[in-house]
Amino acid sequence: MSENIPVEDIIYLDHHATTPMDPEVLEAMIPYFTDHFGNASSVDHLHGVDAGRAVANARSSIANLINAEAKEIIFTSGATESDNLAIFGLIPYEDVEGKHIITSEIEHKAILESCSYFAKLGGEVTYLPVNQHGIIDYEQLERSIQENTRLVTIFAANNEVGSIHDLSKIGEITRKHGVFFHTDAVQAIGRVKIDVRKDKIDMLSISAHKIYGPKGIGALFISKRSPRVYLTPILRGGGQEGNVRSGTLNVPGIVGFGKAAKLIKRDMKSMNTQFRDLQAYLWEKLKKRIPDLQLNGPPLETRLPQNLNLYIPGIESKSVIQMLSKRFSFSAGSACTTDVVKPSHVLMSMYGDENRAYQSIRIGLGKSNSREELDMFIDSLVKGYSLLQNMS
């Protein structure tokens, strides 16, 4: 990409990766960098009490978003830490051998890499396959539960293809067998109504920067009701966060997270209506102009409202992205690790087709996007598609 192009002039269509911070969130955070700079653990003076009060308010706002109690919200550095804490807090490193956990083949890397390490330490992991809509077989999940199964961790919504799991159904199965249920709900929060009580969720990971909040702050819901979840800390120190996650609290980040949670709860219905409109508009327009275009994952009506994952047969996604990168930001259906491009593990699990995995793009819509922006994207994508087709 040319260095002369201002990034603010590029249309952003990658909101699954991150979202821009809402101005109201930034406004709420700024005083906690300057005037209200106290350490929330310093309870002996007003600066600390002031910071502690701000943290408590944010904790309540986040809990309210998922029908939890404030004391059940533990702040972390992000969803990756929350996912790790859910697994290795429940089953400590030294106690892994002989224990069994169940997950899906298309989880976020924070779960899959943790499960891989769990297996290296002597634990047993069952990876459930998914269908072409990116959904596990719930009956297979129940059949996979063993006497030594301690945890089922299944995402609420997938970050690549937008598939949404029936959390209540998973919760019924796990509760019936006395197994703990954790879900990575990073992509689902603000898009899907989640009720940790109704859905029988024992642990849930969320992150602020996917809901127009700041980066570097996340949370883990840990149930304190029956069955109560007890976690061993994976970070040791001053005993903050109920001695589950030590470390000085990121007060500005927490304040921003709380504000973002309030806003996303307030605006969820209207925002999702906007996304559904843009999603349908983009899909209908594109498929008329690119006849070979196919949808990866579930139908529009059952996927995340801001998600489109598109298979363009015969056209490498990397080439499309490079061609359009001066005007648009979006991502491939494959993930890049250092200099090695690997096919998306999500699409490979769903379709078993490496070409499809390399020839897919992901669009993540945001609240600032408009039909006019999508029209520009459609025109550019169609032109790029025609050019690449001719070149090949």
* pLDDT per residue of the chain (392 residues) written in tens, 0 to 9: 445 678 888 999 999 999 999 999 999 999 999 999 998 998 889 999 999 999 999 999 999 999 999 999 999 999 999 999 999 999 999 999 999 999 999 999 999 999 999 999 999 999 999 999 999 999 999 999 999 999 999 999 999 999 999 999 999 999 999 999 999 999 999 999 999 999 999 999 999 999 999 999 999 999 999 899 999 999 999 989 988 999 999 999 999 999 999 999 999 999 999 999 999 999 999 999 999 999 999 999 999 999 999 999 999 999 999 999 999 999 985 444 434 568 999 999 999 999 999 999 999 999 999 999 999 999 999 999 999 988 86
On whether both 73 and 55 belong to a single domain, the answer is yes
Look at residue 231 and tell me if it is in a domain.
yes
Residue 142 shares a structural domain with residue 232: yes
Pair 246, 339 in one domain: no
- Predicted pLDDT of residue 3: 59
Same domain, yes or no: 258 and 130: yes
Residue tagged active-site, from 143, 336, 352, 386: 336
Domain end, chosen from 262, 294, 312, is at 262
205 shares a domain with 120: yes
Q: At what angle do helices 46-65 and 251-289 cross, to 10 degrees?
A: 30
Which residue in 292, 295, 307, 296 sits closest to 388, CA to CA?
292
Residue 2 lies in a domain: no
3-class SS string, 209-246? HHCCCCCCCEEEEECCCCCCCCCCCCCCCCCCCCCCCC
Residue 128 belongs to domain spanning? 23-262
Mark whether 107 and 184 lie in a shared domain: yes
The confidence score (pLDDT) of residue 333 equals 56
Residue finishing a domain among 219, 238, 262: 262
3-state class of 168 per DSSP? helix
Same structural domain for residues 114 and 256?
yes
- Name the amino acid, one letter, at 255: V
Q: Cα(19)–Cα(300) distance, rounded to whole angstroms?
A: 22
Whether residue 12 is found in the same domain as residue 105:
no
Q: What's the residue count for the chain?
A: 392
50 and 199 housed in the same domain: yes
| 108 plus 246 within the same structural domain | yes
Domain's final residue, options 262, 288, 312: 262
Provide the number of structural domains found in the chain: 2
Question: What pLDDT was estimated at residue 391?
Answer: 83
Tell me the two tokens of residue 232: 């061993």
Would you say residue 167 lies in a domain?
yes
Gyration radius from the chain CA atoms: 22
- Is 1 among the domain residues? no
Residues near 365 by Cβ (< 8 Å), separated by ≥ 6? Answer: 13, 15, 275, 278, 279, 282, 305, 306, 307, 308
Does the annotation count 336 as an active-site position? Answer: yes
- Are 216 and 86 found together in one domain? yes
Q: The domain that contains 162 carries what CATH number?
A: 3.40.640.10
Q: According to the model, what pLDDT value does residue 340 have?
A: 53
